[in-house]
A and B are shown apart, each in its own frame.
Chain A
Amino acid sequence: MNDLGKGNPEFRICDFWLGLRAIIVKDIVVELRARQVLPTMVVLGMLIVFILRMASESALTGGAGPVLGAAALWVAFLFSGLLAQERSFASEQQNGCIDGLLLAPLDPGTIYLAKLLANVIMLTIFEVVVVPIVVVSFNLHVTGGWLHLAAVLLLGNLGISSVGTLFSAAVQLTRTRGSLLSIVVLVILMPMMIPATFALLVLFGAMSGQTQTLASVQGSGALAFVGSFRAAVGYMLAFDAIFVVASWLLFEFMIYD
């Protein structure tokens, strides 16, 4: 489908970057002008955080702040991320722009990567606003360092966006778009949330980041089997790599009729 770059590898690479940049810039500019989804994401995230804060009042006095804070952070990311992902192909579908996008001399994988990066940028902006709110509401101390926190959040961000962007294109023609997308994305991300929660618990000082002995893991919950902070980051990296590569390869099956 990419006849332009045939037999000329240099042109192909150039084509890839041009296409990638064009779609990302288009998505960001559209969002900045119309402000359709980012304000909704931020307010939804804040609402989730505040509702959890109010609901967990009695546990917070017992020192459960870091545990609830980590949960609130991931729940807010997952659900607000879904809004961005659903939007990323809904806007194309509603105005019939999807046909133009598919007719462009681009590899479907490139379209996927561009949409993914646009969603990652949106979720990153969201994180910049919501993370301080979570830290303040749950009275968290980032003992593991803000740089580590940013790295863990970015890894989670990439994983959440990768699956959501892939299935966003698929659910657009259904009657229950958003809710269907949410169950599809959440069920696939479930295993990834185990190391993701572990990493945040270590960073908030609720859990030791050192490798645990077998005896202490025995009989304890799923979180403990992650083992150490390094292992948690490793699992998240592995999930990200698998999901991004698999989605990049499989995307073309999702969009053509």
Chain B
Amino acid sequence: MRRLLFALAIALLIASTWIGLTQGQIVPVQRNILYAHVPNSVCALLCFVVLLAASIGYLATGRQGWDLVAAASAEAGFVFATILNATGMLFSRAEWNVWWTPSPRLVTSAILWFLYAVYLILRVSLPGSRHRNPRICAVFGIIAFLDVPLVFISARFIPDIHRPNFSFDSAWQTAALMLGMAGTAVLAAALIWLRTSLLRSRLKLEEELLQ
């Protein structure tokens, strides 16, 4: 089932790339990076929503599964946020001739990346207390999420050099972007699932070793 999800994600991403490269090309050429940039930015935000939901779930129920989902979604979100910022910088250099500029959306995307990075560092730094550590991470996840609406609001409502509402010339372009969105979302779900089960088996192994 998980393999099927990964296969589906790869198929969708290949279809998106193929259409983007042929029928759906955008002029000037650097704007084609949008097919990677936009899906990754959406998934970076979605992973934070999953992280928030899992954190609240853990604090409410105390079940370890929620904590593992939170960890997995932070790892996946970190990857997406890294790609988001990297592709954004490439585009920025080609379009505006600077690698980075402190415009609201670029600042908030950087903040998103830092939030994921600190969450992952916090997870590995805490000493082994089985109940308290996940709670501390969950609290950080919730407090950190309070910063995220700002990222979203700035990407939509604040006038900026960075345009969110890109107008397409043809249906091919919309199709390529939508396929990319779907592919990246499936990839995110598959990654979170894979990491959750890997973390669970690692915990089980550690418990068996202790006994």
Report which A residues bind B (CB closer than 8 A).
Answer: 163, 166-167, 170-171, 173-176, 180, 183-184, 187-188, 190-191, 194, 214, 217-223, 225, 242-243, 246-247, 250, 253-254, 256-257
CB distance from B162 to the nearest CB of A (A): 10
Contact A254 B143 (CB under 8 A): no
Residue ID in chain A nearest B139 by CB atoms: A250
Determine the main DSSP class of A at the interface with B: helix
> Judging by beta carbons under 8 Å apart, are B136 and A170 in contact?
yes
- In the complex, chain B residues 6-52 whose Cβ is within 8 Å of any chain A Cβ: none
Q: Are A225 and B104 in contact (CB under 8 A)?
A: yes
Identify the closest chain A residue to B154 (Cβ): A225
Residue pair A191, B125 in contact (C-beta under 8 Å) = no
Bound Cα distance A167, B125 (Å): 13
A173 and B129 contacting across the interface, CB-CB below 8 Å = yes
B interface residue count range (under 10 / 10 to 19 / 20 to 34 / 35 or more): 35 or more
Task: Give the A-binding residues of B (Cβ under 8 A).
Answer: 59, 101-104, 106-108, 111, 114-115, 117-118, 121-122, 125-127, 129, 131-132, 135-136, 138-140, 142-144, 146-147, 150, 154, 158-161
Q: Which 7 A-B pairs have the closest CB atoms?
A: A221-B102, A222-B107, A253-B135, A170-B136, A187-B118, A219-B161, A250-B139
State whether B143 touches A250 (Cβ < 8 A): yes
Contact B118 A257 (CB under 8 A): no
* A243-B146 contact, Cβ under 8 Å, with A170-B139, A191-B111, A225-B154: yes
Residues of B within 8 A of A174 (CB): 125-127
In the complex, chain B residues whose CB is within 8 Å of the CB of A187 = 111, 114-115, 117-118, 144
Cβ–Cβ contact B114 & A190, under 8 A? yes
Q: Tell me, in angstroms, the Cα distance from A219 to B143 when the chains sit together.
A: 30
A257: B residues at CB distance < 8 A: 129, 131-132
Chain A residues with Cβ below 8 Å from B144 are 187-188
Could you name 14 residue pairs across A and B whose Cβ atoms are closer than 8 Å? A163-B143, A167-B140, A170-B136, A183-B118, A187-B114, A187-B144, A190-B114, A190-B147, A221-B101, A221-B103, A242-B146, A246-B142, A250-B59, A250-B139
Residues of B within 8 A of A190 (CB): 111, 114, 147
B114 adjacent to A247 (CB under 8 Å): no
Complex contact B161–A218 (CB within 8 A): yes
Task: Indicate whether A243 sits within 8 Å of B143 (C-beta atoms), given known contacts A170-B136, A180-B125, A183-B118.
Answer: yes
